[in-house]
């Protein structure tokens, strides 16, 4: 009883003698209680409420960290891809199926978003990235293929970093989104680095999203047969076949 009183005082609550409506079978009929939503609860209820609040706050901070670490384009933060046509609704259905597969941890799967410039591919990828973070508490990284290769190659001249360490960093993300996968660096080992990251993620059964202006059938000419083969396994393919949104907006 004294412990309950000191605990409640520590929480800046004014205890009074009463009857806990939750733990009435375990607590004495007359114990120190506090009011919550018009009901009286004991110190055990208060402890549970504090633990839940601490856990919720931790989740809030973690999700904020994951959103920050994802490096999503600022322009698309919190934005939604508005599907109006049947083709656009079909794309949303494909993306939803991929997100569900990621959440169920079905192993390796690849989402290929392909279509012309300005059709909303990056917007769609950003929206799904935020959904994966919020729903599944999963780490995500967005970057272009060229940017990823540049970050790995920067380790060659950076003390304390190594190519292997940087490759592992891109392998360890729960979901990797590679934009402009068909546009790579001109450096000699660029193709090898891209292949290494995709191959290791494939072996570790870590999902990827790739974005390209090339058709899916034509992608092998730009990424090579090895990557193309892996992207075809358990693939979710979404074709953005409509006109450039930005051009349509400027003409209206």
Q: Residue 114 pairs with which residues in a beta bridge?
A: 212, 239
Who wins on pLDDT, 175 or 3?
175
Residue 207 pairs in a beta bridge with none
Residues 130 and 218 in one domain: yes
Residue 37's SS3 state is coil
Write down the pTM of the prediction. Answer: 0.78
Residue 40: pLDDT over 80:
no
State pLDDT tens for residues 126-141: 999 999 999 999 999 9
Do 74 and 51 lie in a common domain?
no
Q: What is the CATH number of the domain that holds 155?
A: 3.40.50.300
Q: Do residues 238 and 195 share a domain?
A: yes
Mean pLDDT of the chain: 85
Please report whether residue 64 resides in a domain. Answer: no
110-115 and 208-212 as β-strands: parallel, antiparallel, unpaired? Answer: parallel
* Mean pLDDT score, 73-99: 95
Q: In this structure, are 41 and 96 located in the same domain?
A: no
Could you read off the pLDDT of 224-233 as tens digits, one per residue?
Answer: 999 999 999 9
In DSSP notation, 101-151 reads HHHTT-S--EEEEEESTTSSHHHHHHHHHHHHHHHH---EEEEEHHHHHHH
Q: Are residues 98 and 23 in the same domain?
A: no
Task: Note whether residue 65 is domain-resident.
Answer: no
Instruction: Tell me: do 90 and 209 sit in the same domain.
Output: yes
Let me know if residue 144 belongs to a domain: yes
Higher pLDDT: 148 or 160? It is 148
Q: Please, which residues have CB within 8 angstroms of residue 95's CB and are 6 or more apart in sequence?
A: 111, 124, 128, 236, 238
Instruction: Please check whether residues 12 and 89 belong to one and the same domain.
Output: no
User: How many structural domains does the chain have?
Assistant: 2
Do 203 and 96 lie in one domain? The reply is yes
Based on the domain organization, do 49 and 135 belong to the same domain?
no
Which residues span the domain enclosing 48? 2-59
Measured CA to CA, the distance from residue 243 to residue 252 in angstroms comes to: 14
């Amino acid at each position: 009883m004294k412990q309950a009183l000191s605990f409640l005082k520590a929480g800046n609550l004014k205890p009074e003698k009463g009857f806990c409506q939750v733990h009435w079978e375990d607590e004495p009929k007359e114990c120190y209680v506090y009011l919550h939503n018009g009901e009286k609860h004991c110190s055990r209820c208060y402890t549970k409420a504090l633990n839940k609040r601490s856990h919720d706050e931790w989740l809030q901070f973690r999700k904020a960290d994951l959103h920050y670490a994802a490096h999503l384009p600022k322009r698309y933060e919190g934005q939604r891809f508005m599907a109006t046509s049947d083709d656009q609704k079909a794309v949303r259905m494909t993306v939803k199926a991929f997100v569900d597969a990621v959440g169920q941890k079905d192993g390796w799967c690849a989402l290929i978003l392909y279509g012309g410039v300005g059709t909303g591919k990056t917007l769609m990828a950003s929206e799904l990235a935020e959904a994966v973070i919020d729903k599944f508490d999963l780490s995500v990284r967005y970057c272009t293929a060229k940017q990823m290769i540049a970050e790995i190659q920067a380790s060659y001249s950076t003390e304390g970093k190594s190519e292997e360490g940087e490759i592992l960093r891109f392998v360890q993300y729960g979901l990797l989104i590679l934009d402009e996968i068909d546009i790579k660096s001109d450096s000699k080992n660029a193709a090898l680095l891209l292949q290494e990251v995709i191959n290791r993620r494939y072996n570790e059964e870590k999902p990827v999203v790739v974005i390209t202006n090339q058709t899916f059938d034509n992608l092998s000419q730009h990424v090579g047969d090895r990557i193309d083969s892996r992207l075809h396994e358990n693939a979710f393919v979404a074709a953005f076949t409509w006109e450039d949104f930005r051009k349509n907006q400027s003409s209206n």
